[in-house]
A and B are shown apart, each in its own frame.
Chain A
Amino acid sequence: MSPLFKSLRFLLPLFIFFAIAGFLLKGLWLDPREIPSPLIDKPAPEFRLQSLEDPARQIDRKDMLGKVWLLNAWASWCVACREEHPVLVEFARSSAIPIVGLNYKDTRVDGMRWLAQFGNPYVTSLFDEAGRVGIDFGVYAVPETFLIDKQGVVRFKQIGPVTPELLHEKILPLIQRLNA
């Protein structure tokens, strides 16, 4: 074995470590929670749910065709939703597009009380008591928000609260493109 090769052999652990460290450094600026939804650019799942406000009223996927709309999953027990809520209320005032709530694993009484207390940005809320529709949409924590186009195709998904920056930098430009 040549001496050069021999000393390289002893350096090998060091090289491997620096390669790993490089990836770790890069990893610090990546968000492991940012997960692309398999639903993006796929038709939104079928659903048929009662409205939160009026159990007699049923809403299904077809009712929303022809419009660009936001589906926002929320719950009265969700703290992050409370943080997000003013942003949605403000956005609803501009009435750019309808926002539909998906009241996820909640009770009617709590949900209604929550809307009365913090304001209601939704044209209506779907009452998903058992969370079945949430599962079809791949919701694993509330809040989550989906942007759905006129053909009923999911174009964008946000896990966690919608922030004003996100709204202005991503969602609004997308809405303009989809409405064009």
Chain B
Amino acid sequence: MIPEIGNFALMVATAVAVVLGTLPIIGAARGNVRWMELARPAARVLFLLVVVASSCLVASFLHDDFSDVYVANNSTHALPLPYKLAAFWGGHEGSMLLWLQILSFWIFAVSIFSAHLPREMVARILGVMGLVALGFLLFIILTSDPFDRLLPAAAEGNDLNPLLQDPGMVVHPPMLYMGYVGFSVAFAFAIAALLGGNLDATWARWSRPWTTVAWTFLTIGICMGGAWAYYTLGWGGWWFWDPVENASFMPWLAGTALMHSLAVTEKRGGFKVWTVLLAIFAFSLSLLGTFLVRSGVLTSVHAFASDPRRGVFILLFLATVIGGSLALFAWRAPKVGLGERFEMISRESMLLTNNVLFLAAAACVLLGTLYPLILDALGLGKISVGPPYFDTVFVPLMAPALFLMGLGPLARWRKANLPEIAARLKWAFAVSVICAVVVPLVEGRWSPLVALGILLAAWIFGTSVVNLWSRVRPGAGGELRAKLAALPRGYVGMLVAHVGVAVFVVGVTLVKGYEVEKDVRMDVGDTVAVGPYTAKFDGTTEGEGPNYAYLRGQFEILKGEHLVRTMHPEKHQFNARNEPMTDAAIAPGITGDLYISLGEAVSQTAWVVRVYYKPFIDWIWCGCLLMAAGGVLALSDRRYRLAQRRATSSDVTEAGAASGA
């Protein structure tokens, strides 16, 4: 019964999405107030219906209803409770439902936090999002129904993919989806502005917080994905340039460019065409990522079963959404005027350069991801594009971007004075060069790439400090503390996020430069030295987890003569699926992690053991979290709270100002 209710809710939701996707948009074009006013209630009903459907799926998992095909494929009686919840998105059908759930959540959020927007704008935004939701609803109902029945019911389920039975996987997919589905809001704003012909600073001001929220979620999501790969795949890697990872990284690059471009459009009225195009790109790349992951056109460690019917459907949907919006762009954008002019050397030009670099990086990732497919389609053979390609194209693109990141925030709008900036930054530059020389020497081996990485990280950090100091320097106008407290949160958020990038770069540089990886055969009593540690193998013990049997290795870790800790890497053998899983033991530290995982048993007592020393790897996650924290700070900026208060205290909106502009 419960799956049928879920199914029914999705069908009713489809009908609601049809209404939401048509009447308000037509109403906005014709000036029909009643049709426009339908947008908000329809959006909220749509959200509730999808919540009902999702709850039905959750209930089926909690009841171990193995007469539901999807539940039978992704759960067992013995599966621990948190994983029964995470099993929701453990397979294709549920992942799509999660996509829809989050999309409808964003639709709901827009319907709530849009009191200050003109009626036409709200109608168009919600209408566009309704159309996207309609596409996903049809996709789910026609090709990927999570409520299909299995008759007779299975006695026991197939269990959740062991790789996904991890605390990180309970949170990672929703975070990631919150991010890239969140770009649908900026996208809908852009399309609504193109439709209405009111592409201006007001539009940018409205889109900005939505874009920042989505970007923050996406940053956290990608970071968790990297951390998950690091501790569950057992190879100590954290980023593989795998198509599925690229699928989330491309929207991030475009979204980062969008965030910065929106700032220029809001503050200076410039980059309008460029910004609207980026908004379309960011969401298009999210959709494209979904296609790549879900259609099975690319192989990946995150393999999902492929079904050409699904692929054709998503591709048609993509062609409609992306093709349609780019066509609309080609039609409307030429009429949009240019913003204020700016000089060759100005904050605008630096932001523009960085945007182009980010977009070029996204294009390179896209090319690398699709290249094997394109060659194959042209009959030119099978190849795979791996990390060497991505590393080669990424460093030259990101190095100048990171350098400009230091300069940009200190440059003036419209026309900057290069000698003046140089004078302000000479100390930051000197310190960066010293770090670039000294840090690699301290770590033991000088290499140009490490020096470059450290130089850029120190540069970003140094320029951020100079920037902050120039704002809070005690003297005229108040005390240090008062000035610090008076800083706008948006500005602090920018600094924190930029410092996060610096921390991230330090992590990546030092891990790449100085990691020690030893794959050795170890028998009981053997020792191996990595980095500052020596690991001694004490043998293995066996035991039983809730739905798996495990084998636990014991290692004593010595630093010099002293025992510093013991570590227990495990091998899990899940009962329902005959797949072994590696659970690495990690001893984290600010200056580096010790990482041990069990490979294969080579005799009764001896194992192939991976013992790695990963210097500064935790800086990678810290850097990402700082970037996300920057996003949160920017969102807590006073002007957004003011805007919200204004909107709720009276129904007088900025509509007049917006349409008059």
Residues on B with beta carbons closer than 8 Å to the beta carbon of A32: 296-299, 372-373, 376
> Is A116 an interface residue, CB under 8 A from the partner?
no
Partner of B330, one of A7, A23, A27: A7
B334, A6: Cβ atoms under 8 Å?
yes
Q: Which partner residue on chain B sits nearest A25 by CB separation?
A: B315
B323, A28: Cβ atoms under 8 Å?
no
A26, B298: Cβ atoms under 8 Å?
no
B376, A33: Cβ atoms under 8 Å?
no
Q: If A14-B326, A17-B326, A21-B319 touch, does A26 touch B382 (CB 8 Å cutoff)?
A: no
Interface residues of A in 71-86 (CB under 8 A from B): 77, 79
> Is B171 an interface residue, CB under 8 A from the partner?
no
Partner of B377, one of A10, A30, A33, A77: A30
B277, A13: Cβ atoms under 8 Å?
yes
Residues on A with beta carbons closer than 8 Å to the beta carbon of B131: none
B373, A27: Cβ atoms under 8 Å?
yes
Give the number of chain B interface residues (Cβ < 8 Å): 36
Max chain A Cβ within 10 angstroms of own Cβ: one of B277, B288, B326: B326
Q: Which partner residue on chain B sits nearest A36 by CB separation?
A: B382
B377, A27: Cβ atoms under 8 Å?
yes
Residues on A with beta carbons closer than 8 Å to the beta carbon of B322: 17, 21
CB proximity of B370 to chain A, nearest CB, Å: 7
A29, B298: Cβ atoms under 8 Å?
no
Residues on B with beta carbons closer than 8 Å to the beta carbon of A35: 382
Q: If A7-B334, A21-B318 touch, does A28 touch B329 (CB 8 Å cutoff)?
A: no
Give Cα A6–Cα B334 distance, bound, in whole angstroms: 8
Residues on A with beta carbons closer than 8 Å to the beta carbon of B288: 20
> Is B374 an interface residue, CB under 8 A from the partner?
yes
Partner of A17, one of B297, B323, B578: B323
> Is A130 an interface residue, CB under 8 A from the partner?
yes
A14, B330: Cβ atoms under 8 Å?
yes
Residues on B with beta carbons closer than 8 Å to the beta carbon of A28: 295, 297, 308, 311-312, 315
> Is A11 an interface residue, CB under 8 A from the partner?
yes
CB proximity of B497 to chain A, nearest CB, Å: 28
Give Cα A18–Cα B319 distance, bound, in whole angstroms: 8
Residues on A with beta carbons closer than 8 Å to the beta carbon of B329: 10, 13-14
Give Cα A28–Cα B284 distance, bound, in whole angstroms: 19
Interface residues of A in 18-56 (CB under 8 A from B): 18, 20-21, 23-30, 32-36
Q: Mark B288-305, 1 if CB is under 8 A from A, else 0.
A: 100100011111000000
B374, A14: Cβ atoms under 8 Å?
no
Q: Mark B447-458, 1 if CB is under 8 A from A, else 0.
A: 000000000000
B330, A11: Cβ atoms under 8 Å?
yes
Q: Mark A139-174, 1 if CB is under 8 A from B, else 0.
A: 000000000000000000000000000000000000
Residues on A with beta carbons closer than 8 Å to the beta carbon of B281: 13
Residues on B with beta carbons closer than 8 Å to the beta carbon of A30: 297, 373, 376-377
A13, B326: Cβ atoms under 8 Å?
yes
Q: Which partner residue on chain B sits nearest A79 by CB separation?
A: B578
CB proximity of A34 to chain B, nearest CB, Å: 8
Residues on B with beta carbons closer than 8 Å to the beta carbon of A25: 312, 315
A29, B308: Cβ atoms under 8 Å?
yes
> Is B333 an interface residue, CB under 8 A from the partner?
yes
Partner of A14, one of B323, B370, B373, B602: B323
Residues on B with beta carbons closer than 8 Å to the beta carbon of A13: 277, 280-281, 326, 329-330
Q: Which partner residue on chain B sits nearest A30 by CB separation?
A: B376
CB proximity of A11 to chain B, nearest CB, Å: 4
Residues on A with beta carbons closer than 8 Å to the beta carbon of B381: 36
Give Cα A79–Cα B376 distance, bound, in whole angstroms: 30
Residues on A with beta carbons closer than 8 Å to the beta carbon of B311: 28
Residues on B with beta carbons closer than 8 Å to the beta carbon of A20: 288, 370
Residues on B with beta carbons closer than 8 Å to the beta carbon of A36: 381-382
> Is B564 an interface residue, CB under 8 A from the partner?
no
CB proximity of A3 to chain B, nearest CB, Å: 9
> Is B418 an interface residue, CB under 8 A from the partner?
no
Give Cα A64–Cα B372 distance, bound, in whole angstroms: 37
Residues on A with beta carbons closer than 8 Å to the beta carbon of B578: 77, 79
Give Cα A25–Cα B297 distance, bound, in whole angstroms: 9
> Is B327 an interface residue, CB under 8 A from the partner?
yes
Give Cα A119–Cα B631 distance, bound, in whole angstroms: 63
Give Cα A97–Cα B321 distance, bound, in whole angstroms: 55
CB proximity of B625 to chain A, nearest CB, Å: 34
Q: Mark B365-386, 1 if CB is under 8 A from A, else 0.
A: 0000010111011000110000
Residues on A with beta carbons closer than 8 Å to the beta carbon of B312: 25, 28
Q: Which partner residue on chain A sits nearest B281 by CB separation?
A: A13
A27, B376: Cβ atoms under 8 Å?
yes
Give Cα A132–Cα B373 distance, bound, in whole angstroms: 32
Residues on B with beta carbons closer than 8 Å to the beta carbon of A24: 291, 295, 297, 315, 318, 370, 373
Max chain A Cβ within 10 angstroms of own Cβ: one of B297, B381, B578: B297
CB proximity of B219 to chain A, nearest CB, Å: 26
CB proximity of B523 to chain A, nearest CB, Å: 16
Give Cα A17–Cα B329 distance, bound, in whole angstroms: 13
CB proximity of A75 to chain B, nearest CB, Å: 10
CB proximity of B346 to chain A, nearest CB, Å: 23
Residues on B with beta carbons closer than 8 Å to the beta carbon of A77: 578
CB proximity of A20 to chain B, nearest CB, Å: 7
Max chain B Cβ within 10 angstroms of own Cβ: one of A11, A27, A33: A27
CB proximity of B300 to chain A, nearest CB, Å: 9
CB proximity of A130 to chain B, nearest CB, Å: 7
Give Cα A167–Cα B297 distance, bound, in whole angstroms: 26
Residues on B with beta carbons closer than 8 Å to the beta carbon of A11: 330
Partner of B602, one of A6, A79, A130: A130
Residues on B with beta carbons closer than 8 Å to the beta carbon of A79: 578
Residues on A with beta carbons closer than 8 Å to the beta carbon of B298: 27, 32
Interface residues of B in 575-625 (CB under 8 A from A): 578, 600, 602
CB proximity of B298 to chain A, nearest CB, Å: 6
Residues on A with beta carbons closer than 8 Å to the beta carbon of B376: 27, 30, 32
Can you give 27 A-B contacts (C-beta < 8 A)?
A7-B330, A10-B329, A10-B330, A13-B280, A13-B281, A14-B330, A17-B323, A20-B370, A21-B319, A23-B370, A23-B374, A24-B315, A24-B318, A25-B312, A25-B315, A27-B297, A27-B377, A28-B297, A29-B308, A30-B376, A32-B296, A32-B297, A32-B299, A32-B373, A33-B299, A36-B382, A130-B600
Binding site for A on B (CB under 8 A): 277, 280-281, 284, 288, 291, 295-299, 308, 311-312, 315, 318-319, 322-323, 326-327, 329-330, 333-334, 370, 372-374, 376-377, 381-382, 578, 600, 602
3 tightest CB-CB pairs across the interface, nearest first? Answer: A26-B377, A14-B326, A27-B297
